Structure formats: structure tokens, C-alpha cells
């Protein structure tokens, strides 16, 4: 049924309402099927890929071990592209940024790691370390207490100067 034929049926008042949805469905399905492979690739590339994320995180760890912090930041950023909820990738990227002398950028990533995994004691501890280096003892104490609250051991020395 083409558009002129369907228009003729509508104008004459003899519309077969059972055929119109089939025509519309088949026409739409035909168009959709042409784009299905592309659509599938796009959808799969947008979804988290834990296996790929872990592979890239491992590459980043190797780069950190070689003191290639810039390369490590790039690797962890790619891992985050695969999985926006990878607290580990944010944590490791923050560590690499800190080692590059970018503490403010590191704080952002450590905070993102704790946002994703609230009980991530090591991220809280590292935030405390940065605040202590920045001589903001009030915030350092806050973060050290969070680290202790979430199970970080041996916090006594870090908390001794805290109220």
C-alpha cells in the first residue's frame, strides 16, 4: 500500500484500520533494520564494560610502576570512559595526578571515588593526606576520621593533632 493508495482509502472513507498499523509497522521496521547494526554498536559502546575497564586499569598500574604518571592518567581516563562507576579507576587516576603535582585535580577524583564507594577508606585517607600537605588540618581531620570510620587501621598518629 503506497501513500496515494492509503490517502484514497482515507478520503473515500473505506479505511481498513487493521492494515494501516501493519503497513506502518513494516515500513518503520524496514527503516529500523537498516540502522540496527549501527545502533547496536553505539549502544554497546555506551554501556559499561567491566572486562575492558579492568584491562585498562591494569595497563595504568604498569605505567604507574614505571613512573609514567601522564600515561597512567590517560589510561585511567579511558577506563572511566568504559565505566563511569569505576571507583578504582578514579582512585588510581587521583593517585597518578597527585604524583604529577596536581593535588587539586587529585582531590576531585578521590572525592568521586568516595561518592561511588562511600566506604572507600583509602580514598578518605589520601584526601586527609592532601589536606594535611595543604595545611588545612580541619579538613584533614575530617577525612582521617572518615578513613577510620570505614576501617582504615593505624590512624592514631594521624588523628593525634585532631580535636
Q: How far apart are CA 100 and CA 2, in angstroms?
A: 66
Residue 124 clears pLDDT 90, i.e. is over it: yes
Q: How far apart are CA 13 and CA 34, in angstroms?
A: 34
- What confidence score (pLDDT) does residue 37 get? 63
Q: Which three cell numbers stand for residue 145?
A: 576520621
Architecture label for domain 50-159:
Alpha Horseshoe (1.25)
Q: Which three cell numbers stand for residue 91?
A: 582512585
Q: How far apart are CA 46 and CA 68, in angstroms?
A: 28
Q: Which three cell numbers stand for residue 134?
A: 595543604
Say what the pTM is. 0.71
SS3 117: coil
Q: Report percent pLDDT > 90 for the chain.
A: 66
Q: Are 57 and 89 in contact (CB under 8 A)?
A: yes
- What confidence score (pLDDT) does residue 28 get? 60
**CATH 1.25.40.10 domain span(s) along the chain:** 50-159
Rounded to an integer, the average pLDDT of 55-83 is 96
| Cβ neighbours of residue 51 closer than 8 Å, sequence gap 6 or more | none
**Crossing angle for the helix pair 50-65 and 87-99, nearest 10 degrees?**
20
- What confidence score (pLDDT) does residue 10 get? 44
**36 CA to centre of own chain:** 26
| Cβ neighbours of residue 6 closer than 8 Å, sequence gap 6 or more | 20, 23
Measure Cα distances from 104 to 65, 75, 81, 108, 139 in Å: 22, 19, 21, 7, 14
Average pLDDT score, the chain = 83
pLDDT band at 163 (very low <50, low <70, confident <90, very high): confident
Q: Which three cell numbers stand for residue 129?
A: 593526606
pLDDT band at 160 (very low <50, low <70, confident <90, very high): very high
Amino acid at each position: 500500500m503506497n501513500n496515494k493508495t492509503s490517502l484514497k482509502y482515507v478520503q473515500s472513507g473505506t479505511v481498513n484500520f487493521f492494515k494501516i498499523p501493519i503497513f506502518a509497522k513494516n515500513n518503520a521496521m524496514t527503516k529500523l533494520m537498516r540502522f540496527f547494526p549501527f545502533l547496536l554498536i553505539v549502544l554497546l559502546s555506551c554501556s559499561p564494560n567491566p572486562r575492558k575497564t579492568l584491562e585498562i586499569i591494569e595497563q595504568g598500574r604498569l605505567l604507574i610502576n614505571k613512573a609514567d604518571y601522564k600515561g597512567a592518567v590517560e589510561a585511567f581516563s579511558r577506563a572511566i570512559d568504559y565505566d563511569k562507576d569505576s571507583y578504582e579507576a578514579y582512585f588510581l587516576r587521583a593517585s597518578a595526578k597527585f604524583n604529577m603535582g596536581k593535588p587539586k585535580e587529585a582531590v576531585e577524583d578521590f572525592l568521586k571515588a568516595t561518592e561511588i564507594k562511600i566506604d572507600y577508606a583509602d580514598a578518605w585517607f589520601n584526601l586527609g593526606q592532601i589536606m594535611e600537605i595543604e595545611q588545612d588540618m580541619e579538613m584533614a581531620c575530617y577525612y582521617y576520621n572518615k578513613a577510620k570510620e570505614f576501617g582504615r587501621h593505624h590512624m592514631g598518629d594521624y588523628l593525634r593533632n585532631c580535636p
